């Protein structure tokens, strides 16, 4: 049997398929971007909680006081020790699209053998979602929770 020379896809059929794919992509793209922003926010909240915990562990291990400085203007959190002086001993820069929801800088002192300070920090993404990272001063265990925004 010989192949039919007219078999194949017409230009009109191809345009219809491309239009359907473009419509589906345009409908699903905003939700995909929103989902990625939420994942980035959750990941950043976990990074901040780990940074606080590792800072406390460093103070206990090296037995030297430190200061955690939250800088919303620079979108970062830094730790200073007596040895590091004016240069941060460690630093956490938040990724683009994730912001510290505060106006002013805050400084928290950590002492070896002392209780961890009560720190509560809110991060937000470009979609308006927020996560609160709080440290329990008794157990020094970080807690991450979703913050509902009321209009």
Q: Say if residues 52 and 79 touch (Cβ distance below 8 Å).
A: no
State the DSSP code for 148: P
**Longest Cα separation, the chain:** 88
The structural domains of the chain, with segments of one domain joined by +, span 11-62+95-102+113-147
Question: What is the model's pTM?
Answer: 0.77
What tens-digit pLDDT sequence spans the chain (151 residues)? Answer: 666 666 677 888 899 999 999 998 888 877 777 778 888 999 999 999 999 999 999 999 999 999 999 999 999 999 999 888 889 999 999 999 999 999 999 999 999 988 888 889 999 998 889 999 999 888 888 999 998 876 6
Taking only the tens place, the pLDDT of each residue in 121-142 is: 999 998 889 999 999 888 888 9
């Amino acid at each position: 049997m010989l192949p039919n020379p007219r078999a194949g896809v017409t230009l009109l059929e191809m345009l219809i398929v491309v239009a359907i794919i473009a419509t589906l992509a345009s409908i699903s793209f905003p939700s995909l971007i929103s989902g990625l922003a939420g994942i980035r926010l959750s990941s950043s909240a976990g990074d901040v909680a780990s940074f606080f915990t590792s800072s406390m562990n460093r103070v206990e291990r090296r037995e030297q006081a430190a200061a955690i400085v939250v800088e919303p203007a620079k979108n970062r959190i830094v730790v200073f020790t007596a040895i590091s002086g004016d240069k941060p001993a460690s630093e956490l820069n938040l990724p683009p699209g994730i912001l510290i929801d505060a106006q002013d800088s805050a400084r928290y002192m950590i002492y070896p053998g002392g209780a961890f300070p009560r720190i509560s920090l809110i991060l937000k993404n470009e979609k308006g979602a927020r996560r609160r990272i709080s440290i329990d001063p008794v157990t020094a265990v970080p807690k991450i929770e979703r913050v509902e925004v009321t209009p």
